[in-house]
Amino acid sequence: MKKANINLKACFFAQQILKAKMSEKQAFGFLETYALFRDFKTELCNDKFLNTVQQIKDQNKQDILYNVVVNIENKIDLELFIFSLKIFLVKDLLLQEAKIGEMIDMNKLENINPLSLEYEKISTCSPCLSRVNSVLLALLFFENLEEGKINFMSKDAFEFIKKLSKLAMKLKNKGIESNQIFMLIFSESVDQSIIADSGSNYEDRILFVLKKIGIPKNKIRKTHDKDDASTEFDFFFELNGKTYGVGAKKTLRERYKQFIKTAQMGNVDIMIEITLGMDLNEEKAKNILNHGVYIFVADEIYKSRKFLQKIKGVYSAKNLTLKTLKSLKKIRNTK
């Protein structure tokens, strides 16, 4: 089998295994079958694989794995499939290792204002750190694997890695780029993990701050304005007999216009826009305030832009306190 073809087949197995999203139990079922029937003809091993596939209840997963099995045409294909399957199982171990750097960064957030640019920077960049770490770990893993260095794992994993190392070297002699197979599986898994574990969004952080300053969670709700059903407040609550409607946007762009439209029509006592403020210029700030809406921006932005400090009604997010909220009075709409 030519090198290009064998690597194409290897990539096919890796992609399909990843697409099937097998559970560990299902993956172990294939490995057990292989252990029992690998010395027999490929056809017999495939028949046993198909029995394993038929036991899977998920029809989509069953179809994907059936397509994999019917493409195992010889002993080399069989080894490629098993190698891809073992790599699929190992990647979770390295994925957790790659997350350590991200976890360290997440610990830093405990002492940082959730509405600051510093918090935003760490929460945004940490997933990228996981991706970089994962690539470096994968390269180190395969460098050791292909050289037969297997003393970098725990004793419990020693035998598994030892056999995987032998298989990697055997396939390498046949032209298989095993590290490419792993990166194909691993990189997509990292991306999926980053999406799943990307952390709290901006609204979650604002909710945390509101609860921390003393507004009960059960008093905060998301609601539509009574006079403008097209506008949804990200947060709505009552405080000292006044109603507060809060909009939350990391960047304002043109979206703030819908919110100030409500200020023209609604009966909410206090309207607030909370934003990081990176795209907040003087004209936009005055326009929002002229429509009766207070603005809270990240402290770094507030300090760096002198014009914001001179405009009455613009506050640093550090000043989003119960005392500040109670002191706010309805701004007379000048538009």
Residue 169 pLDDT more than 90?
A: no
* Whether residue 183 is found in the same domain as residue 59: yes
* Mean pLDDT calculated for residue range 36-55: 89
* Whether residue 240 is found in the same domain as residue 267: yes
Assess if residue 18 is contained within a domain: yes
Assess if residue 333 is contained within a domain: no
Contact 288, 256 (CB under 8 A): yes
* Whether residue 70 is found in the same domain as residue 177: yes
Task: Write phi, then psi, for 155 (nearest 5 degrees).
Answer: -60, -35
Task: Give per-residue burial for 162-189: e unless 16+ CB within 10 Å, then b.
Answer: eebbebbeebeeeebbbbebbbbbbeeb
Final residue before a domain boundary, out of 167, 199, 231: 199
Long-range contacts of 195-202 (CB under 8 A, 24+ apart): 197/99, 197/127, 198/127, 199/106, 199/123, 199/126, 200/123, 202/248, 202/249, 202/250
Final residue before a domain boundary, out of 165, 199, 233: 199
Question: For the ranges 9-13, 139-143, 175-179, 275-279, which has the lowest average pLDDT?
Answer: 139-143
Structural domain of 143: 3-199
Of 266 and 232, the one with more pLDDT: 232
Assess if residue 332 is contained within a domain: no
In the structure, what pLDDT confidence band is assigned to residue 197 with cuts at 50, 70 and 90? very low
* Whether residue 214 is found in the same domain as residue 183: no
* Whether residue 69 is found in the same domain as residue 186: yes
Residue 163 pLDDT more than 70?
A: no
* Whether residue 24 is found in the same domain as residue 160: yes
pLDDT tens by residue, 83-132: 888 878 777 666 655 555 555 556 677 788 888 888 887 776 655 555 55
CA Rg, the chain, in Å?
28
In the structure, what pLDDT confidence band is assigned to residue 256 with cuts at 50, 70 and 90? low
For the chain, how many structural domains are there in total? 2
Assess if residue 334 is contained within a domain: no
Final residue before a domain boundary, out of 156, 179, 199: 199
Residue 195 pLDDT more than 50?
A: no
Of 280 and 172, the one with more pLDDT: 280
Of 141 and 202, the one with more pLDDT: 202
Among candidate residues 242, 243, 275, 271, the one with its CA nearest the CA of residue 259: 271
CA distances from 41 to 32, 38, 265 (A): 16, 8, 77
Q: What per-residue confidence (pLDDT) applies to 198?
A: 43
Assess if residue 335 is contained within a domain: no
Residue 74 pLDDT more than 70?
A: yes
